[in-house]
């Protein structure tokens, strides 16, 4: 994040501004010859060459006060920012990690501080602490300012708390404090940094407000006490507006610099904030319908999709075309990061920022999902197609009974009759292998496998024609996986639903799918009926991928991964994307020319120069070249 931060114009502006203010304070003795406290100058002097901002009603040089004032004001900002953040981080992380009564207690305290109005609380607290100098101001600011940060950090830490690596640390016996400060906290540095700048901003503004109303230490020189004296001595009535304007401007500048840094870190944390809405859908140019291919349900045409990132455009899906027939089970396999999920999200119009569909169509029964108006798309989802992702079970609301959540999709599509809802919900539960009495459970009373079955039941509720499943069972143990997959297959055969099924596990697809597409570096490099692909894989990548999984039958053999790594997807790929790792590559051909998709047998297509038609084309092209 550090490198990204220093590339953001807003962060650069914030840092430059803050740097100037810090330097002003540090080099004050070099920049002015006047002592900010000594009142031995003539009163009320206007700005002049000698006194750039004139003098005060007490005979002090205003410019020197402005320079020296930076020291204490920024000191309050930084120290109070650090202490406030420390309190917020400690309480937020403790509440999230321990949960139970610890969470309840901290949460109640946080809520109390959040509902108390800020300024009156600050005034009451500082009245009690008056006389303690700068430290009491820092203490008061930290005491009143931690609650918002603690709330935000707790929310983020709650999500982190359930991650596998935290469970693993706890299982191997790490102490809670070690987990909190060494496992969880480093994963939240961006949020903590944003919180620090927010807290520092609050501290600077609070110090100014308290000093201005006389609750600060008016014997010190800060921008806040400058405002206090200017107000008390009637600077505006005397026409000496610069006495107020100088500290006022400095406070606004330091506030602006902290806000710019806070905002930029926030933005880097949440890439959605970086995407200009107008750009989001611009690329998808849209004709709503196209004539459907006969006997085709889903027709993905020349789809290009990916992510706009700081390091450029990641083209995760490259000119992908794919068709799915009614009732067909199409498997999509490939190594991690080859673009399977992006393809699934993009084709179903679920790809969210920073993801973007750059071009292409995804026609369901001839209707382009990528250009449908939102209201029509909402009607289409669940009814015409539904989607189940790996973490789908987490979409179940933990405080609502699963029955109501199963009803919701049906209610939205106009099924309102109580009896029908009930009988359909029971039928769906039986279909996916759960006893109907579990309809009245809350999600937390169900195992992971059962929750995933509930989500599949919801996806089936309106008997859509197509279900896209992206590793729907990967998070579950192997036995549960098998049984769910068998049920999915039975349901598909019974209801004639088409399924696009994404997995790393090629052997599983060989067993279940009608057709398999192999994806590599954002492209479909081979496509064939499942058995055909299993027995005669033609692309060297598919052959390697097949070899990486245990055989379906026969004796156990040692399996090997594919050496090397797929190419980075944020650059143009010249030639065959598998060139670097291919054991049978042909230099001068595969690295310079793009292999075209060619049918080798009926229904079996491959993009590889080993296939004669591809090589013929290259030879022809080479002959044409001078």
Ligand X SMILES: Nc1ncnc2c1ncn2[C@@H]1O[C@H](COP(=O)(O)OP(=O)(O)OP(=O)(O)O)[C@@H](O)[C@H]1O
Interface residues with ligand X (CB under 6 A) are: 307, 309, 314, 316, 334, 336-342, 354, 504, 569
What is the rounded CA–CA span in Å between residue 511 and residue 517? 14
Nearest distance in Å: CB 470, ligand X: 7
Q: How far is the CB of 409 from ligand X (least distance, A)?
A: 25
Q: Using the minimum distance from each CB to ligand X, give the nearer residue, 66 or 333.
A: 333
Task: Give first-to-last CA distance, the chain, whole Å.
Answer: 49
User: How far apart are the C-alpha atoms of 568 and 316, rounded to whole Å?
Assistant: 9
Two tokens, residue 544: 């390697």
Nearer to ligand X, 183 or 356 (CB): 356
Q: Is the CB of 110 or the CB of 341 nearer to ligand X?
A: 341
Q: Closer to ligand X at the Cβ: 336 or 602?
A: 336
**Nearest-approach distance from CB 158 to ligand X, in angstroms:** 22
CB nearer ligand X, residue 8 or residue 169: 8
Distance in Å, CB of 545 to ligand X, minimum: 13
Q: How many CB atoms are located within 10 Å of the residue 588 CB? A: 11
Token pair 């990061």 is found at 337
Is 337 or 448 the residue whose CB approaches ligand X more closely?
Answer: 337
Q: How far is the CB of 184 from ligand X (least distance, A)?
A: 22
What CA–CA distance (Å, rounded) separates 607 from 596? 5
Query: For the chain, how are helix, strand and coil distributed in percent, rounded to 5?
Result: 55, 15, 35
* Residue (of 568, 555, 383, 569) closest to 464 by Cα position: 383
Instruction: Specify the pairing of strand 598-601 against strand 604-606.
Output: antiparallel
DSSP string across 372-407: S-HHHHHHHBTTTEEEEETTGGGGS-TTS-HHHHHH
User: In angstroms, what is the minimal distance from the CB of 504 to ligand X?
Assistant: 6
Laid out side by side, the sheet with 355-364 consists of 312-324, 298-309, 355-364, 367-368
Instruction: Between 292 and 337, name the residue whose CB sits nearer to ligand X.
Output: 337
* DSSP assignment letter at 180: I
Question: Looking at beta carbons only, is 5 or 569 nearer to ligand X?
Answer: 569
The residue count of the chain comes to 626
Q: How far is the CB of 565 from ligand X (least distance, A)?
A: 11
Of the CA atoms within 13 Å of residue 135, those in its CB half-sphere come to: 2
Query: Min. distance of Cβ 335 from ligand X in angstroms?
Result: 7
Report, in Å, the least distance between residue 341 CB and ligand X. 3
C-alpha to C-alpha distance for 533 and 552, rounded to whole angstroms = 14
CA–CA separation, 58 vs 65, rounded Å? 12
Q: Which residue has the tokens 């004709």?
A: 287
Which of 159/172 has CB closer to ligand X? Answer: 159
């Amino acid at each position: 994040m550090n490198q990204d931060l220093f590339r953001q114009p807003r962060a650069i502006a914030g840092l430059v501004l803050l740097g100037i203010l810090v330097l002003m304070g540090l080099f004050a003795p070099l920049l002015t010859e006047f002592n900010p406290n000594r009142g031995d100058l003539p009163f009320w002097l206007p700005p002049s060459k000698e006194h750039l901002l004139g003098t005060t009603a007490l005979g002090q040089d205003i410019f020197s006060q402005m320079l020296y004032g930076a020291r204490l004001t920024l000191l309050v900002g930084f120290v109070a920012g650090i202490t406030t953040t420390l309190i917020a981080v400690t309480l937020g992380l403790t509440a999230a990690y321990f949960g139970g009564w610890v969470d309840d207690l901290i949460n109640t305290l946080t809520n109390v501080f959040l509902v108390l109005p800020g300024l009156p609380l600050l005034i009451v607290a500082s009245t009690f602490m008056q006389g303690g100098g700068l430290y009491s101001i820092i203490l008061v600011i930290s005491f009143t300012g931690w609650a918002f940060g603690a709330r935000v950090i707790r929310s983020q830490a709650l999500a982190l708390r359930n991650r596998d690596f935290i469970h693993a640390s706890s299982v191997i016996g790490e102490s809670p404090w070690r987990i909190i400060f060494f496992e969880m906290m480093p994963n939240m540095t961006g949020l903590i940094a944003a919180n620090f700048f927010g807290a520092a901003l609050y501290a600077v503004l609070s110090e100014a407000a308290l000093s201005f109303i006389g609750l600060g230490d008016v014997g010190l020189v800060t921008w806040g006490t400058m405002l206090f004296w200017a107000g008390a001595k009637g600077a505006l009535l005397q026409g000496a507006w610069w006495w107020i304007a100088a500290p006022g401007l400095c406070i606004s500048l330091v506030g602006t610099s902290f806000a710019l840094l806070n905002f930029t870190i926030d933005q880097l944390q949440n890439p959605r904030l970086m995407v200009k809405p107008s750009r989001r859908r611009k690329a998808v140019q849209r004709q709503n319908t196209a004539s459907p291919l006969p006997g085709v349900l889903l027709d993905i045409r020349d789809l290009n999709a990916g992510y706009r990132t700081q390091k450029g455009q990641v083209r995760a899906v490259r000119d992908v075309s794919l068709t799915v027939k009614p009732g067909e089970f199409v498997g999509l396999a490939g190594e991690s990061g080859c673009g399977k999920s992006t393809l699934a999200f993009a084709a179903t119009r679920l790809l969210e920022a920073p993801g973007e569909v750059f071009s292409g169509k995804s026609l369901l029964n001839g209707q382009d999902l990528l250009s449908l108006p939102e209201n029509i798309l909402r009607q289409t989802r669940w009814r015409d197609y539904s989607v189940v992702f790996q973490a789908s079970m987490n979409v179940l609301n933990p405080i609502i009974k699963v029955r109501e959540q199963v009803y919701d999709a049906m209610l939205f599509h106009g099924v309102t009759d109580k009896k029908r809802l009930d009988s359909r919900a029971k039928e769906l539960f039986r279909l996916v292998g759960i006893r109907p009495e579990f309809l009245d459970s809350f999600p937390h009373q169900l195992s992971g496998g059962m929750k995933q079955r509930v989500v599949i039941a919801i996806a089936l509720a309106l008997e859509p024609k197509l279900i896209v499943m992206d590793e729907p069972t990967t998070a579950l143990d192997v036995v549960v996986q098998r049984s769910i997959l068998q049920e999915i297959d039975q349901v598909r055969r019974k209801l004639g639903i088409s399924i696009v099924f994404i997995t790393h596990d090629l052997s599983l697809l060989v067993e279940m799918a009608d057709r398999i597409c192999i994806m590599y570096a954002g492209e479909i490099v081979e496509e064939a009926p499942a058995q055909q692909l299993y027995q005669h894989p033609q692309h060297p990548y598919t052959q390697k991928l097949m070899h990486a999984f245990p055989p379906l039958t026969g004796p156990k053999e040692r399996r090997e991964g594919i050496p090397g790594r797929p190419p980075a997807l944020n650059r143009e790929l010249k030639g065959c994307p598998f060139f670097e790792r291919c054991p049978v590559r042909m230099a001068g051909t595969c690295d310079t020319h793009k292999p075209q998709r060619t049918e080798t047998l009926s229904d079996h297509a491959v993009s590889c120069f080993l296939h004669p038609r591809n090589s013929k084309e290259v030879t022809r092209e080479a002959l044409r070249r001078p």
